Amino acid sequence: MTSHPTHLHPVSLDRLRTAPAHAGEAPPDRLGRAMRDLRISVTDRCNFRCSYCMPRDQFGRDHAFLPREALLRFEEITQIARVFAGLGVRKIRLTGGEPLLRKNLPDLVAMLAEIPDVELTLTTNGALLARHARALREAGLRRVTVSLDALDDAVFRQMNDMDFPVADVLAGIDAAAAEGLGPVKVNAVIRRGLNDGQILPLVRHFRNSGHILRFIEYMDVGSTNGWRLDDVLPAQAILDHIHAVHPLQALEPGYGGEVAERWRYADGAGEIGVIASVTRAFCRDCTRMRLSPEGRLFTCLFASQGYDLREHLRAGDSPAQLAGRIAAIWAARSDRYSELRSEATPGTRRIEMSYIGG
């Protein structure tokens, strides 16, 4: 049986047990970065088995996913999200695993949508999106990001390794756009030799669509995907490839801390982006905190340890006390894994992307 990342020992909050109650924005972390984003993973389960994220041989039938009672309840997620908003978070992204597998997700969206001054978004593999787009929009969701790594049906089925047809995801993107959840961002992870032949088909499909296609460098998240630097197709190579056919012009970042580098087609056919997490690391602008499905906080995508917030929530911490703990965790943060990647120890055990949500 594959061991679950929760078997990693979470950092004890003992040293933070005396964290004083806190009001107002969280102080910057040790590298001067403000806390502005929260990614909430609502489940560690997924209906896909993308080889770069949940390879089937590691996430098989006997894989120990979190039991339902371990998951944070919607009321608990909302309580925590409100504390984060008070600390300065302005953007909340729901993710997973596959977030649309979490039962009654629109109920959670409705609860989170009531938090003032926070933009609420969702990242999904899109397979179930056509079915849920309306309920999500009615609950108050404003935008979605859909992951789509290939346009060719055979390649797509191979990528998700569950024989899901690409037509379902394309229908999901259309449904989301029709509901006003746009512009839809479409994220494609490119793994050299696997789906690099899909770059131009994806470009052709999404030019003039109003959706924003973004190519993501394949990252060494988790410990199960057998990542090798040779498998990474650098963002610059992706851009050069596209530029040779459809000339591109650089755009300014949309906001501080944006991870995607933005480009526009010179002929006015729309916008695309690249997320160069490996070759042009952006840790110095990293304003993100991550909450796992059972209430652990992670200050970096590449962390191996989390802080158990659920324990304190269930022990009756007040919002001000929770704020004190979170502010202390953020203030102590000095993560910059991607900038240090070249020095990283191979084989280090890390949390899985399917657990923490990208």
**What are the residues binding ligand SF4 (CB under 6 A)?**
46, 48-50, 53-54, 96-98, 125, 147, 282-283, 286, 300-302, 335-338, 353-354
Q: Which of 125, 160, 224, 338 binds ligand SAM (CB under 6 A)?
A: 125
* Rounded CA separation 351/332 (Å): 20
CB of 55 to ligand SF4, least distance (A): 9
Comparing CA positions, the residue from 107, 98, 100 lying closest to residue 77 is 107
Comparing CA positions, the residue from 87, 118, 189 lying closest to residue 147 is 189
- 54 Ramachandran zone, left/alpha/beta (phi>0; psi -120 to 50): beta
- The answer to whether 83 and 25 have CB atoms below 8 angstroms apart is no
List the 91-95 sheet strands across, edge first.
248-250, 261-265, 271-275, 212-217, 185-190, 143-147, 119-124, 91-95, 37-41, 288-291, 296-298, 307-308
Helix (H, G, I), strand (E, B) or coil at 216: strand
Give which of ligand SAM, ligand SF4, none residue 150 binds (C-beta under 5 to 8 Å, depending on kind). Answer: none
* Rounded CA separation 64/100 (Å): 20
Q: Which of 51, 95, 195, 299 binds ligand SAM (CB under 6 A)?
A: 95
Give which of ligand SAM, ligand SF4, none residue 301 binds (C-beta under 5 to 8 Å, depending on kind). Answer: ligand SF4
CB of 122 to ligand SAM, least distance (A): 9
Q: Considering the rule CB under 6 A, would residue 338 count as an interface residue with ligand SAM?
A: no
* Rounded CA separation 280/316 (Å): 43
- Pair of tokens at residue 156: 């797509």
Helix (H, G, I), strand (E, B) or coil at 212: strand
CB of 202 to ligand SF4, least distance (A): 16
Give which of ligand SAM, ligand SF4, none residue 84 binds (C-beta under 5 to 8 Å, depending on kind). Answer: none
Q: Which of 160, 187, 321, 338 binds ligand SAM (CB under 6 A)?
A: 187
Q: Considering the rule CB under 6 A, would residue 52 count as an interface residue with ligand SAM?
A: yes
CB of 222 to ligand SAM, least distance (A): 7
CB of 308 to ligand SAM, least distance (A): 22
User: Is omega for the bond preceding 67 within 30 degrees of 0, making it cis?
Assistant: no
CB of 47 to ligand SAM, least distance (A): 9
- Let me know how many helices (H) and strands (E) the chain has, helices first: 11, 12
Judge residue 25's burial from the number of C-beta atoms within 10 Å of its C-beta, 0-12 exposed, 13-18 middle, 19 or more buried.
middle
CB closer to ligand SF4, 286 vs 326: 286
Q: Considering the rule CB under 6 A, would residue 216 count as an interface residue with ligand SAM?
A: yes
Give which of ligand SAM, ligand SF4, none residue 124 binds (C-beta under 5 to 8 Å, depending on kind). Answer: ligand SAM
Piece of 14-22, 213-221, 262-270, 318-326 that binds ligand SAM (CB under 6 A): 213-221
CB of 217 to ligand SAM, least distance (A): 7
Q: Considering the rule CB under 6 A, would residue 98 count as an interface residue with ligand SAM?
A: yes
- The answer to whether 149 and 195 have CB atoms below 8 angstroms apart is yes
Q: Considering the rule CB under 6 A, would residue 96 count as an interface residue with ligand SAM?
A: yes
CB closer to ligand SAM, 19 vs 260: 260
CB closer to ligand SF4, 100 vs 327: 100
Beta partners for 212? 185
- The answer to whether 354 and 46 have CB atoms below 8 angstroms apart is yes
Site string for ligand SAM, 232-261 (x = CB under 6 A): ------------------------------
- Pair of tokens at residue 216: 């993501």
CB closer to ligand SF4, 48 vs 307: 48
Helix, strand, coil percentages, rounded to 5, for the chain = 35, 15, 50
Q: Name the residue number minimizing CB distance to ligand SAM.
A: 358
**What residues make contact with ligand SAM under the rule CB under 6 A?**
46, 52-53, 95-96, 98, 123-125, 147, 187, 189, 216, 218-219, 221, 225, 353-354, 357-358
